[in-house]
Structure 1
């Protein structure tokens, strides 16, 4: 299990933190959450104040339990009983008005830099409610806030995420099912079929976000609240949780592309297909990484969903392996358990083991799913998963290259090494096509299996 601790940037007048910060004039004197508590935010713009904030986190929490992450709420921060004069209050870097938008990044940076200075054995993981350009440098993943549990709000999450990513901030997520869900209790809460459909569609979208996270008030979100195996909602939730975990080698490798090569997870279609003018205004579809086109369903009771496939590539229906030419819209049948997913031709998708938690099983027997129709590459990235040794070069990369003309997969020499690295492993290779198993089946039909010891291997696959 992993443990994330929630912290806030405001302090009541009787707390030790507030007394120390007040004595050094490091409080911004406006009302913050919770109301009627006397709470005030600290001056995040002051490096000494950030040090004091960390001192108390370390003393009271981190040194005892070594928690795995920080949930930083109210990083706007909340501003209650707002007065125009509040914006003229002085901070370490000038008036609050002049630096307000950077509150979140300064608060995040303080915790991140101090924890990393304390130990490099545990990576900084921060979930935060607000963002600013460059905030990803501090291990921060921003969620979209305390949103309403409605279909309209689900629909708005997609362009919100894409606009956020287009600003150069790759780490984004939302409260799956919406935060404020009290209205659904009238029909049974988690047993309300209408809320179950909204929750499942939101979870399908969440499975293809940088962080998949269910959270909210009023309606409990654990899977068992939605029924039991054999019930459509339970089965649908379980289906996408398993899908997310089996995609971890793809997602983790994408995270390396993001952090090392300035990539992003959620890619507006215009980023990869700028020549196709039809992509320029599409805000309800995106690429997750370089290969997976995601088209979330954001309306209730729909039987089909229109999906635009960009020109410049062929596309495979993830669920059927049916191949489509790009540059067209199609109507995809969408029973409740199906969200439209399409794989770009030339993609090499690494497929991990079925697990209950991320580190349960090693990646010593990965499936490589190849979608022919174009040449392609994919780099599998691995390291120790939870420390900063990769910054000193302790990681490995394996480049997979698909030559479509001669149907050859080249598994390149492994580059790099790290403690605990797999010296030998197996790759099971499947080439997508008509009549082949598709989607999230337990094991695809394998065309070739190879042993790999870090040296280049070339695998010739059957002709078309």
Structure 2
């Protein structure tokens, strides 16, 4: 302990030259789970939520405390906090974080289990136009965060504007996009979340002086430092703080039919009929803005079906349901003065105001508009009624577009504050409104909410974000893995892209196919584009259609694996797409690497991002061997290999010792009940023990796990000597009915035909391929009972 405190003192002393010399320590008081530190210009409050989450707030003299956080939902836990005041400093210690407050010059520093995390530099300061909080960082840290950007994985060196704004037609570089989150994550394995909504900047050492600065126009001077034993722990802790994402309906993992846009009821039904005729799976169709008007301009705000083009929307939704297809409608928060509802909006006082209290109006691309004040009770309830009426028609998903908001002059006033104060949380609170509306109509049905903008913690409203109007080019595709990986780190794990690209009339079948192949391993599978080039595979060339169909069928085959990823995310916040530094946190070569990533724990994916690419160079994470998904060829971990590409798939590899459950592809995710489970296992001599769990429920009910309406299939492998044993069992919730499943079990990398295979002690017939070096055994399994499969291997 003496050595540890000496280390802290020396490190703090080394940083003192850069502190705010004008801030003077006065006194300290202990409070529940923390400290209150009085200085000459205000009061610092340091509170521990958990041993891994510390919150620090500064309240300047003469100011009153701000309203509650828009991001944080966690209540501080009662934990053991030890406080020691000494002549030169105050020490606050938990069994995780350790905080020092140096008295002169004043400074706050954070440590985690004897390792320095971060220190305030100048701390809080108020400048001419911005309030800032400044930190000292080490010279070699790689920094992530700031929301959705196309900047490369390492965002250090950038001053990032915090102002949600669409970037139409971006490609490999975008400084500012739809999701700007006040979050920084470091390769040193910590996160800082600035808990404040108004607009500002996040300066990630743009002056190259080892300084991290949060800048804002106003608001709370609050941040949380979040740590953990691993990247998984950090994301888990952050999503504990800001809310876990509830499970989506299972159909959300299927294929979407989407374009800008479908002009009529007839076109909608004919499009789905084309999917069914081509036997290409599809689970949902998204109607863009033509559902409420024939023209792009002048009709936004109608928010009711145009009966000329959609004469019987209720019947259309019913017809789609009969084909196992869900209907999703676009909505926007803008109310044009030419809308059929404008007079109603003014009369019912649902709009944000100008500086003299009249409905605020201004021009943008779609016309002269007002914007719904979702912070006023009248605006909120009116908008909720719109969603409830549509839900009662049978609409099962909503798309919130332009919710940055796309255009929002600073002079506009909302009940909750100025435009600049609510700009970055408008999409967040709009998602909350839609989420609540959906549950008020159908309390037991999981909502589906697609949103173009949001804020820290938006995941708790079931938000599904996407990466905006990306260009339909190879450059547009190249930025997508980075954007999705970054957003997964920041809690929004369902970030995905318009598959095929959105902007521009670029008819490139190779690009289209490679984007759809990448989409198999991104959270939401949704081809979407401007209508001058079809986004739906059924309207592409025969070759593109066939290759797209193969990709979509693989997506459906992986449904049991993917559904388990959804469950894991709902419980731990773990992103579906994971950067390789999750696997090797101490490997600096991976800190900025996004050429390959993990889809869940066990699937390694390396998308093809360039035209005519004949080979792909891939790093295989160490501590594991990896099986080629198509050929079962084994690659040892810890090496970089260049492999030839294939037209029909992108490079995909399975971790040795992994169980991968699959289904025969169906035309809808709703057709999976009682299907044969195709289970594969990659045997490797290095893996002596392996266990995986796969979650299942009815695919639609809210809180199925919490209400014990679920089943978890457990698969375990044990390898010792010449014995390879598999144990299957299931954890079945009391509200779930255990059923019999037909299991088709493939075991890869068996070099010789086994002497025998036994199931529950009885020898059984099996198929063995000397060419493929695999074994297949088929058997029934009633999941209420355990089952054991034993192989006796030959030397």
CA distance in structure 1 between the aligned counterparts of 2:343 and 2:579, rounded to whole angstroms: 44
Matches of 1:31 and 1:368 in 2, distance apart?
Answer: 58
Tell me how far apart the structure 2 counterparts of residues 26 and 303 of structure 1 sit (CA, whole Å): 55
In 2: Cα distance, 1:416 partner to 1:253 partner:
16
Matched, 1:214 2:527: yes
**Does the CA contact (< 8 Å) of 2:388 and 2:441 recur in 1?**
no
- 1:416 is the counterpart of 2:733: yes
- Counterpart residue number, 1:252: 563
Contact 2:696 2:710 in 1 (8 A): yes
Residue 30 of structure 1: CA displacement?
5.5
1:373-410 Cα distance to aligned partner (Å, 9 max, x none): 32332222111112225142212212222224442221
Greater radius of gyration (CA): 2
Q: Secondary structure at the match of 2:562?
A: helix
The alpha carbon displacement at 1:17 in A equals 6.4
* Alignment counterpart, residue 407 of structure 1, candidates 712, 724, 733: 724
> Structure 1 residue 6: deviation in Å?
1.0
CA distance in 2, matches of 1:300, 1:25: 50
**Do structure 1's residue 432 and structure 2's residue 727 form an aligned pair?**
no
Query: Residues 537 and 545 of structure 2 are in contact (CA less than 8 Å); yes or no, is this contact kept in structure 1?
Result: yes
CA shift digits 1:192-224 (9 cap, x unpaired): xxx000000100111111100101011012223
Aligned to 2:434, the other structure's residue is in SS state helix
Q: Quote the residue 2:702 is aligned against.
A: 388
> For residues 469 and 341 of structure 2, what CA distance do their matches in structure 1 show?
29
Q: 2:394 aligns with which of 66, 73, 81?
A: 66
Report the Cα distance in structure 1 between the residues aligned to 2:792 and 2:679, rounded to whole angstroms: 15
Match of 1:19 among 337, 344, 350: 344
Instruction: Quote the Cα distance in structure 1 between the aligned partners of 2:582 and 2:343.
Output: 46
Count of equivalent residues: 437
8 Å Cα contact 2:738-2:782 kept in structure 1: no
1:146 to 459, 469, 477: 469
Change (3 A) 1:424 1:25: closer
- Stretches of structure 1 that go unaligned for 5 or more consecutive residues are 190-194
* Displacement after TM superposition at 1:23 (Å): 4.6
* 2:772 is the alignment partner of 1:453: no
Q: Is the 1:145–1:174 Cα contact (8 Å) retained in structure 2?
A: yes
- Which of the pair is proportionally richer in helix? 1
Report the CA distance shift for 1:30/1:276 in structure 2 as closer, same or farther (over 3 A): farther
Q: What is the rounded CA distance, in whole Å, between the counterparts of 2:452 and 2:438 in structure 1? A: 20
Higher strand share: 2
1:192 is aligned to none
Look up the match of 1:10: 334
Secondary structure of 1:359's match?
helix
Could you say which residue in structure 2 is the equivalent of 1:196?
A: 509
1:43 paired to 2:373: yes
Match of 2:597 in 1: 286
In structure 2, what is the Cα distance between the partners aligned to 1:278 and 1:30? 51
Aligned match of 2:518: 205
Corresponding residue SS for 1:101: helix
Contact 2:625 2:637 in 1 (8 A): yes
Task: Give me the whole-angstrom Cα distance separating, in 2, the residues matched to 1:101 and 1:342.
Answer: 39
Change (3 A) 1:99 1:320: same
Secondary structure (helix, strand or coil) at the match of 1:75 reads coil
Pairwise CA distance, 1:154: 0.3
- 1:260–1:341 distance in 2 versus 1, CA, 3 Å: same
Q: Is the 8 A contact 1:297 1:305 kept in 2?
A: yes
Deviation of 1:40 (Å): 2.0
Distance 1:43 1:447 in 2: 61
Segment drifting more, 249-258 vs 47-56: 47-56
1:32 and 1:128 map into 2 onto residues whose CA distance is 23
Distance 1:358 1:56 in 2: 29
Give the alignment of 1:57-456 within 5 angstroms.
57-59=387-389, 61-63=390-392, 65-79=393-407, 86-182=409-505, 184=506, 189=507, 195-217=508-530, 218-228=532-542, 231=543, 233-373=544-684, 374=687, 375-388=689-702, 390=704, 391-405=706-720, 406-418=723-735, 421-433=737-749, 446-456=776-786
Per-residue CA deviation, residues 5-60 of structure 1 (Å, 9 max, x unaligned), is: 1111111235436634665364253546543x22222123345522220112323x
Q: Could you say which residue in structure 1 is the equivalent of 2:313?
A: none
Residue 364 of structure 1 contacts residue 424 of structure 1 at CA under 8 Å; is this kept in 2? no
Q: What SS does structure 2 have at the residue aligned with 1:200?
A: helix
Aligned partner of residue 120 in structure 1, secondary structure: coil
Q: Quick one: distance in 2 between partners of 1:433 and 1:180?
A: 45
Q: SS state of the match for residue 326, structure 2?
A: coil
**TM-score, normalised relative to structure 1:** 0.88
Normalising to structure 2: TM-score of the pair? 0.52
Measured after TM superposition, the shift of residue 73 of structure 1 is: 1.1
